[in-house]
Amino acid sequence: MPTLTYLGIEVLRLPFIRATSLGHEVLHNWWGNGVYPDYALGNWSEGLTTFMADYAYKEREGPEAAREMRRGWLRDFAALAPGQDSPLTTFTSRTHGATQIVGYNKAAMVFLMLRDLLGRDMFDRGLHAFWREQRFRIASWADLQRAFETVSGRDLHFFFDQWLKRAGAPTVHLAEAKHSNSDSGNVMAVTVEQGTPEYRLRVPIAIQTDSGEEFRTLDLESARQTFTLNLRGRPLEVILDPDLRIFRRLRPDEAPPILRQVMVDRTTVTVLLAESGEARDAAQMLAMKLQNRAPKLVVADKLPEAPSVVIGLKDQVDAWLAKHQLPGRPEIVDGKGSAQAWTVSRADGITLAVVSARDAASLAAVTRPLPHYGRQSYVIFDGAKVVGRGSWPTRAQAVKVQ
Ligand SMILES: [Zn+2]
């Protein structure tokens, strides 16, 4: 039944569905059930539907809401362990968290970058052409590429190739910025680096000057490139991709850890601080629910050499953190609720998820809810009820101008 998408009445009753999934499912009448994806070559329909429904809602709400959605996508991607993602051409449907992060979110951001590259008008014309040519047919990413190339008259081979056939994401690094004066005024040389394989990227930067902010877009193609810019004011600081418009792997200081990255990492080990009794049983059950597998237990007296879930009662947790010279309980969770969970970045780059509870019953109470809060950096529970949560603040990549 082309163009027909069902949503069960039980689902439709849920309070948030009408503002989120309903629009997404309606749009599938076009993308997925009007033009059918060629699954063998990658399912493009979830990314396009996410971009034109879920993300469009956020854009309608305002630039801040849209940026927060992009930030969430990039942060989720940064929380994937290396090797957990795969190229978009291999995505068929959502089977676990990592496939959503790539098949839905990365793909949606690919459409955003394409729209930034072509302009909104050209992008819309490309989509209209795709619909006219492909409706009620099976179409692939290559057909999308051809539609956008035909209307824009541009060769988009490099764009689709790098974003669809490669796993992972580029890493972009602002290396340095130097100011000099010339006859024409203020000149700045800014050097940008990227990892391998190299991508062709349009990198937005913001430049803080003594007479306000200026914006430029740099066409980055190689591993290290220096761009010379003429500016109106005297430059003070350069900020990389301030609006988070390119799909890239955020650096650890740009994306502080969230609970999920410890939960999904296959190398994660578990430290249970209670040695026996009810607290031990509750901790073990929680460790299993968090990781969706039997936890790999390690002893408490050594600091693990892998990402770790650390679970215990309050005094045990505080003593363990102190013994291993790790940062103590963060102020924002301290003394609040009956149980708390938070992430810790160790100096050596390894991430911990710490769960601390007042007693065994408080630990048991979070077994069911805590796995649903993987996108947070910290969560505070009173019994099974969440009374506080959030993520550690992100920091934009910036460099002072010499
Ligand atoms: Zn969908």
249-292 pLDDT, tens digit per residue, is 998 778 888 998 899 888 999 999 998 899 999 999 999 999 98
Q: Quick one: pLDDT at residue 348? A: 85
**What digits encode the pLDDT tens for the residues 206-235?**
999 999 999 999 999 999 999 999 999 999
Ligand 1 mean position, distance from CA 68 (Å): 20
Q: What is the pLDDT of residues 154-177, one digit of tens each?
A: 999 999 999 999 999 999 999 999
- Name the band, by pLDDT with cuts 50, 70 and 90, for residue 193: very high
Question: For residue 180, what are the β-bridge partners?
Answer: 187
How many whole angstroms from 45 Cα to the centroid of ligand 1?
A: 7
How many angstroms separate the alpha carbon of residue 112 from the centre of ligand 1? 17
pLDDT single digits (tens) 26-38: 999 999 999 999 9
The dihedrals phi and psi of 216, each to the nearest 5 degrees, come to -140, 160
Give the chain's mean pLDDT. Answer: 93
Distance 46 CA to ligand 1 centre (A): 5
Q: Which pLDDT score, from 0 to 100, does residue 398 have? A: 94
Select the more confidently predicted residue: 303 or 347: 303
* pLDDT tops 80 at residue 375: yes
> Tell me, what's the pLDDT at 152?
97
Q: Provide the token pair at 50.
A: 């996410």
Provide the b/e sequence for 51-85 (b: ≥16 CB within 10 Å): bbbbbebbeeeeeeebbebbbbbbbbbbbbeeebb
What are the CA-CA distances from residue 323 to residues 7, 320, 348 (Å)?
Answer: 53, 5, 17
Decide the pairing of beta strands 185-194 and 339-345: unpaired
pLDDT band per the 50, 70, 90 thresholds, residue 179: very high
- What's the pLDDT score for residue 149? 98
pLDDT value of position 76: 87
Interaxial angle between packed helices 157-164 and 107-118, expressed in degrees from 0 to 180 and rounded to the nearest 10: 160
Query: Tell me: the pLDDT tens digits for 54-82?
Result: 999 999 999 999 999 999 999 889 888 77
Query: How far is ligand 1, taken at its centre, from the CA of residue 74, in Å?
Result: 19
The tokens for 81 are 């362990």
Predicted pLDDT of residue 264: 84
DSSP annotation string for 329-379: S-TTTTT-SSEEEEEEE-TTS-EEEEEEESSHHHHHHTTTTGGGGTT-SEE
